Amino acid sequence: MANEKTPFSLHMKDIVIVKPSKPTPCVTLSLSTFDNNPALNILCHTIYVYQANLDYPNGQHQLDPAHVIKEALSKALVYYYPLAGKIIRNDDGKLRIKCNGDGVPFLEASANCELSSLHYLEGIDVPTLQKLLFDNPSQDETSEHALVFKVTKFLCGGFTIGLGLSHAVCDGFGASQFFRALAELASGKSEPTVKPVWEREKLVGTILKEPLKLPMDETLRAASPFWPTTEISHECFNLNGDIIQRLKMRLMKEGECVDDSFTTLETLGAYVWRSKARALELSSDGQTLFCLAVGVRHLLDQPLPDGYYGNAFVAANVVLTVKELKERPLSYVVKLIKESKKLACNNEYIRNSINMLETMIQYNIRIEGTGASMVLTDWRQLGLLEEVDFGWKASVNIVPVPWNMFGFIDLCLFLAPSNLDPSMKGGVRVFVTLPKASMPKFREEMEALKVMLDP
């Protein structure tokens, strides 16, 4: 709600199509094996929140953010011209991008309230967030457009950018590279600092001859009494730096770690994995999978060039029975995650991962969301809250809007804290989706972490 009396509402302008500002190549481009992962053929939506720029001299009108971003987008599409094209499926079943300079759908809206009345989108409900995105009429959550934009202006002079970007074309690093280029062009640079590189053929696998060995035997996976269901909840949990540091220290002491320290990702990843298993009441004799996305841009024997913006990550996997996950010391679980990360950095492992995925695509083997897995992706290193300035200083908040990857419930995001709460410096926002009936138990687990570690 905008306030007690007036419901939050938007006035929408007509959709415009933003085209590249200069002619671009007319070609059809192939995508990599990673890009062709069926789980990634979705439009990922993220909202960036900007406060009004109070540095303008009195009486001087602020620039119109929608106009500034539209102009910058037109320039950026000269470099990122595939994003102005259409995603098509080839006769061989693989995705391609038809680059024809068609352009990007862009929607401008005005809200009837100030951003502060929506708490700068901190802890706001998903239906409200969805109003700040470009509506996708498609039912299966895929879109032929690789990119869509919506800029919403608020009465305070602040604004939000609702960005929808095809995960088949960019991973998190690729998306942040594009977004930074957009900001650079908006703030007056003549070209982006990092030039985009396509070269998707570098990450194309070959079909394996030997039988596939998946990380977890699907017949042994744990079951939850809460899944499947259509009633799901999305929630973001704020954990400050002190809590995380005390958890690390406690687990390192428990695990008698002298030479090797635990990272935030490993420590919190283990805790959240166990908490999800408890909340979902997974069957104790069944297996559960922890799957961490590990970026491989600079790990290959021939590192990918700077500017590569396609998907470039492999899965670091740990499989345990639910009983082991609940009863073993948490420090033991952290060590397993640490070892799996090291293994995933091995060049042979990376190449085998590409070949496995190519084989799964060929034989149409898909892994669906079941709640027995936790797929963790870490957005904290993308730098989007510190570096991306369109002329209104850095964004104060970034909010992912849930997308249906692995049935929603397997996916977990670690996000940098917003810039709204100084006490969260060094902290992490944990974004989870769970069956509605199991969310209270997960919330208890997050609260228990704070109490358990009280000095």
Lookup result for tokens 């590409």: 354
Q: How far apart are CA 187 and CA 85, in angstroms?
A: 25
Tokens, residue 33: 């094996």
Query: Which DSSP letter does residue 441 get?
Result: H
Say if residues 251 and 333 touch (Cβ distance below 8 Å). no
Q: Calculate the alpha carbon distances from 58 to 91, 155, 192 in Å.
A: 60, 17, 32
Neighbours of 70 (CB within 10 A): 18
Say if residues 24 and 101 touch (Cβ distance below 8 Å). yes
Does 234 participate in catalysis according to the annotation? no
Neighbours of 363 (CB within 10 A): 10
> In 3-state terms, what secondary structure has residue 76?
helix
Which one-letter amino acid corresponds to residue 360? M
Q: How far apart are CA 314 and CA 206, in angstroms?
A: 16
Q: How far apart are CA 103 and CA 85, in angstroms?
A: 7
Catalytic residue from among 167, 171, 234, 410: 167
Catalytic residue from among 102, 135, 242, 389: 389
Residues β-bridged to residue 320? 288
How is 245-313 classified by DSSP, letter by letter?
A: HHHHHHHHHHTT-SS-PPPHHHHHHHHHHHHHHHHTT--TTSEEEEEEEEE-TTTSSSPPPTTB-S--E
Q: How far apart are CA 290 and CA 375, in angstroms?
A: 6
Give catalytic residues, as residue numbers: 167, 389
